[in-house]
Structure 1
Amino acid sequence: MQFVDEANIHVEAGRGGNGAASFRREKFIPFGGPNGGDGGAGGSVYLVANRNLNTLIDFRFIRNYKAQNGQGGMSQQKSGRAGEDLLIAVPVGTIVRDLDTQEIIGDLTEHEQKLLVAQGGRYGLGNVHFKSSRNRTPRQFTRGEDGDSRELSLELAVLADVGLLGMPNAGKSSLITAVSAARPKVADYPFTTLYPNLGVVRVSAELSFVIADIPGLIEGASEGAGLGIQFLKHLSRTGLLLHVVDIAPIDGSDPVENVRIIQRELEKYSDALLEKERWLVMNKTDLLMEDEAQAVCDDIVKRLDWQGPYFSISAANRTGTDDLVKAIAQGLHDNKVAAQEAADAEAYEARKALRDAEASTETHTTES
């Protein structure tokens, strides 16, 4: 299936039904007065996140979506039927923008989360609302209003705990194959990975995390070279980045310079992405003798002056991958605990400020 992570669609809510202008006509009641009912409200358009979808490809073929109009009012004060709301399923992780204003309308990050993108039109009023002691036979009624109409941009940013970053052929796909059940295409030519791949890594029966592999970056990616730059948004939600580097590139390039190339491209793309927590994963140690591989890894860390965690592995024969997975699981757990503690501290400070404000108000009232 073709992976599509961007699409533009047109959504239009239903028009509200017109109110009715009618009069009660029954035997022996020649002047029964107005009895026109209200129209029905127009249907609204909602986007609904669905975890069973993983691409926006359907929106490449169907671009226009319209909710049902409301029914007009009827005699005997019968209201028209409201138009049915239109529910459009999108993948979890979809960011919704208004194409005209570029405003982010919403971010659908949870299964079955609903987002209103076009409000249905207001219904019209029947003439029964306009009767008075001075106007006993009103012929006034109001028409239903048009619903909202919008041009939307849908952008999918996959949800993953860990993102893999690196040059083509650094071994990212081999790594995700080694630690998860995902089976991306693996080959010895650039740009084997053409779209993001997700894998679930199970550390234990109760503990797991999601890892994402995106197409490799090359120098000049931020100016449009290569494939990876258009997929960097998929790393924006990750809590941890693994920077995978080939310690023995077949093209003879310098691993340290390859790391710096990626860093420069990240800086050009997004400061926020550059500042995310990154671990260095030096891959393909199986291509060198053990002592030589260790010496190369030590040299890479020293020349980069790498301050964060680093690991040396061979994804091909799974050497060192178990230690890497355990460290990732512990790191994600620690980050979650720290985030919860920060949220609790913020909530405590907010409650304390509220109590202080209430106490100050009571003191002022007593003195008065």
Structure 2
Amino acid sequence: MQFIDQARVVVRAGRGGDGIVAFRREKYVPAGGPSGGDGGRGGHVLLRADSNLQTLLDFKYKRLFEATPGRRGGPNRCAGAGGDDLVIKVPCGTEVRDCRTGILLGDLTEPGQELMVAAGGRGGLGNAHYLSNRNRAPEKATEGKDGEEWQLQLELKLLAEVGIIGLPNAGKSTLISVLSAARPRIADYPFTTLVPNLGVVRKPSGDGTVFADIPGLIEGAAQGAGLGHDFLRHIERTRLLIHLVDAGGEDLLADVAVVEGELQAYGHGLAERPRLLVLNKIELLDADALEAAMQDLQRHAHSQGVLATLAISAATGVGLERLKATVWAQLEAAAAEQSPTVQEITTVEPVARPRYEPSA
């Protein structure tokens, strides 16, 4: 399946139905009076988070979404039927923004959350509404109003608690493949990973934690170089980062500095995100070289406030249990510090935004 994490769409709510001019005509009922009914409202357009979707691929082929209009009113004060609401399913973790202003309209993170992005037009009034002492037989009715029309930017940010970052070919895909059931493409050349990969890693208690393998970062990624700029957004929601360092690199500290510099340049708090510094491929080093490398990394980690420094070999499995234990401990500590209030949210209210007149 092609991974699409950004899309632009146009949503158009249904037009309200027209009110009608009608008079009551019944035998033995003199001067029946006006009885024109109101038109029904147009259908709304709503976005709903669906846990079964993983990409915005559907929006690559369809860009315009329209709700049904309301029906016109009927005689005998019968109101027209309202238009059916259009519900568009999006993956969990989708941010919705107005294309013109960039205003964030909503962030759908929980399955079943809904966001109304276009309100249906109001139905017109029938002539029964205009009955008065001065006008006993009004012949006036109003048309239905047009529904809202908006251009939206959809942006998917993966929901993962742990993000794996590093330079290309640092072993990120190998690590997530041995920790979980994910099967990303793995090869011995850089930029093998072209899209983020998700894997569920089981805790000793049986609960699962989602890990995200992000394509390799290179110098200038935050400005668009390589693939990192396109996918750095997917680690914005993570609570912990695993910074993987290739033990076969020529200058380990320089490699670490490149990734840290890109996190700082990208912003969004990624540079301050709790992280572990993990030396991978230790089977390439002898005991003395490994000890020297770990000492350098530990000094750097201490100066940068990194939580811990570990040594592993994803290919042989050395140090993986310690890595997982450290991750679980850090996640539990972070959860204890935050102690958020649990609140069930089923509907997201749209924020205030400038009015926009629908196109003709």
Q: TM-score, normalised by structure 1?
A: 0.90
Give, in whole Å, the separation in 1 of the partners of 2:117 and 2:170: 42
> Pick from 279, 293, 296: which aligns with 1:282?
279
8 A contact 2:247–2:285 mirrored in 1: no
| Greater Cα offset, 157-166 or 198-207 | 198-207
Compute the displacement of 1:124 (Å).
Answer: 1.0
Map 1:256-335 → 2, pairs under 5 A:
256-270=253-267, 272-303=269-300, 305-307=303-305, 308-335=307-334
Q: Which moved more, 1:284-293 or 1:101-110?
A: 284-293
Distance 1:130 1:39 in 2: 15
Please name the residue that 1:191 is paired with. Answer: 191
Instruction: Compute the displacement of 1:343 (Å).
Output: 5.4
1:127 aligns with 2:124: no
Aligned pairs for 1:187-226 within 5 A: 187-226=187-226
Distance (whole Å) between structure 1 residues aligned to residue 103 and residue 275 of structure 2: 30
Equivalent residues in 2 for 1:347-366 (5 A)?
Answer: none
For structure 2, the residue ranges without an aligned partner over 5 or more in a row are: 343-360
Deviations 1:90-124 (A, max 9, x none): 00000000001110100000011111000011111
Q: Look up the match of 1:58.
A: 58
Query: What letter matches 1:46 in structure 2?
Result: L
What's the counterpart of residue 73 of structure 2? 73
Q: What is aligned with 1:16?
A: 16
Please tell me whether the aligned partners of residues 167 and 216 of structure 1 are also in contact (alpha carbons under 8 angstroms): yes
Q: CA RMSD in A?
A: 1.4
Could you give the per-residue CA deviations for residues 111-168 of structure 1, whole angstroms, max 9, x where no partner exists? 1111100001111111111112221111122211111100000000000000011100
- Higher-RCO chain (CA-CA 8 Å, sequence separation at least 6): 2
Q: Which piece of structure 1 moves more, 143-152 or 204-213?
A: 204-213
Runs of at least 5 residues in structure 1 that lack an aligned partner in the other structure: 345-368
Deviation string 1:219-261 (CA, Å, 9 cap, x unpaired) is: 1212221111110000000001111101212xxx311101101
After TM superposition, give the deviation of residue 303 of structure 1 in Å.
4.6
Q: Cα deviation per residue 1:53-83 (whole Å; 9 max; x = unaligned)? A: 1110110100000000000001011110100
Matches within 5 A, 1:135-146: 135-146=135-146
Task: Report what 1:93 is aligned to.
Answer: 93
More helix as a share of residues: 1
Partners in 2 of 1:101 and 1:236 — Cα distance? 22
**How far 1:25 sits from its partner (Å)?**
0.9
| Matched positions, count | 340
* TM value normalised by structure 2: 0.91
Structure 1 runs, 4 residues or longer, greater than 4 Å off: none
Instruction: Determine helix, strand or coil for the equivalent of 1:336.
Output: helix
The structure number with the bigger radius of gyration is: 1
Q: Which amino acid aligns with 1:5?
A: D
When structure 1 is superposed on structure 2, of 271-280 and 37-46 the one drifting more is 271-280
For 1:2 and 1:343, how far apart are their aligned partners in 2? 37
SS of 2:291 mapped into structure 1: helix
Partner Cα separation in structure 2 for residue 71 and residue 191 of structure 1 = 55
Name the CA distance, whole Å, in 2 between partners of 1:129 and 1:299. Answer: 82
Does 9-18 or 297-306 show the bigger shift? 297-306
Task: Please tell me whether the aligned partners of residues 247 and 297 of structure 1 are also in contact (alpha carbons under 8 angstroms).
Answer: no
Counterpart of 1:178 in 2: which secondary structure?
A: helix
C-alpha contact 1:17 1:143 (8 A) present in aligned 2: yes
Native 8 Å contact 2:236 2:268 kept in 1: no
1:327 maps to amino acid: T
